[in-house]
Structure 1
Amino acid sequence: MNYKIKKASIEDLDEAAALFNLYRVFYRQESNLEKGKAFLKDRLLNNESDIFLAIADEKAVGFVQLYKLFHYTKLQKQWLLSDLFVHPDYRGKGLSVALIDRSKLWCEETGACGLMLETEKTNVIGNQLYPRCEFEYDGLHNYYHWWRTER
């Protein structure tokens, strides 16, 4: 299969938003294309994330979204691989690996020390994919979340 990976710009917002909506639905969120589109638009316009798109058959069929972090022991920039999704019709063709490889290259291009990610324990595909892509499981840390209650 022929494909290319490109860095998304605001001109790619509609295609990126459609994939982002499917990604959120995958994680049991209610479909909301317009809200997701506004979210991505803010990230792109404010340079708050970098998005790479997998293009096949002349359309975006997958994406990865990266957020800048800083690593406290390495004292360097690091990227959070926050979102990775490939449309179900294009899975099993190496696009996830290609998006991860592009993210690794982005680390080199931006002088970052590496990538980190988290995924649900129930994400069977992701939990098989990431070790194959040289991610190391971190069993030493507990991750906690605090969510502000809406009033």
Structure 2
Amino acid sequence: MNYEIRKAGLKDLEKAAEIFNLYRIFYRQEDNYEKCHAFIKERLLHDQSNIFLALADGQVVGFVQLYKLYHYIKLEKQWLLSDLFVHPNHRGKGLSIQLIDRSKEWCEETGACGLMLETEKTNQIGNALYPRCGFEYDGAHNYHYWWK
């Protein structure tokens, strides 16, 4: 199947919110299209993230979302590959790799030094996929978070 991958804009808000909601459900979050719609709308309105949608026959079947960061060693912009999702009906067809490749192209287009990501240790698919796409595992760091 041929997939079209394009950068999302406000005209894509409903479709982007739908696939983002499915992504969150996949990660054991509550179904909440309205909240996802508002979240994606804020990101797009304020240029806070870049979303690339994968379409098949006009339907959104996957996406990747990138947030701008800055690398303290390279002293350059980099992108956080925050979210990557392919609808279960389209998995195993190389679409994740196409979305990652588009993210790498975005680095070239924006003068960024690269991509970084983190994923759950239990994400067997992602943990097998990312090294195949040229990502190196950084076992020297522990990632911690704080929630208010």
CA distance in 1, matches of 2:60, 2:21: 13
Q: What per-residue deviation string (whole Å, max 9, x for no partner) do you get for residues 75-98 of structure 1?
A: 000000000000111111111000
Q: Aligned runs of 1:2-151 on 2, under 5 Å?
A: 2-148=2-148
Identity %: 74
SS in 2 for 1:78: strand
> Displacement, 1:4?
1.1
For 2:89 and 2:13, the matched residues in 1 are separated by 21
Equivalent residue pairs, number: 148
Q: Distance in 1 between matches of 2:18 and 2:123?
A: 21
| Amino acid corresponding to residue 123 of structure 1 in structure 2 | N
In structure 1, give the amino acid aligned to 2:20: F
Q: Which letter maps to 2:69?
A: L
Opposite residue 105 of structure 2, the aligned amino acid is: L
TM-score between both structures, scaled by the size of structure 2: 0.99
**Cα distance in 1 for residues equivalent to 2:114 and 2:2:** 28
Please, what TM-score do these two structures have when normalized by structure 1?
Answer: 0.97
Q: How big is each residue's C-alpha offset from its partner over 1:109-136, in whole Å with a ceiling of 9 and x where there is no partner?
A: 0000000000000111100110010000
| Structure 2 counterpart SS, 1:107 | helix
Aligned-partner residue type, residue 93 of structure 2: K
State the 1:146 CA deviation.
Answer: 0.5
State the 1:3 CA deviation. Answer: 1.1
What is the SS of the residue equivalent to 2:85?
strand
AA aligned to 1:52 is F
Q: List structure 1 segments (4+ residues) > 3 angstroms apart after TM superposition.
A: none
| SS across alignment from 2:99 | helix
CA–CA distance in structure 2, aligned partners of residues 43 and 94 of structure 1: 27
Gaps of 5+ in 2: none
**CA distance in 1 between partners of 2:74 and 2:112 (Å):** 10
Q: Secondary structure at the match of 1:66?
A: strand
Write the distance in 2 (CA, Å) between the matches of 1:138 and 1:53.
Answer: 28
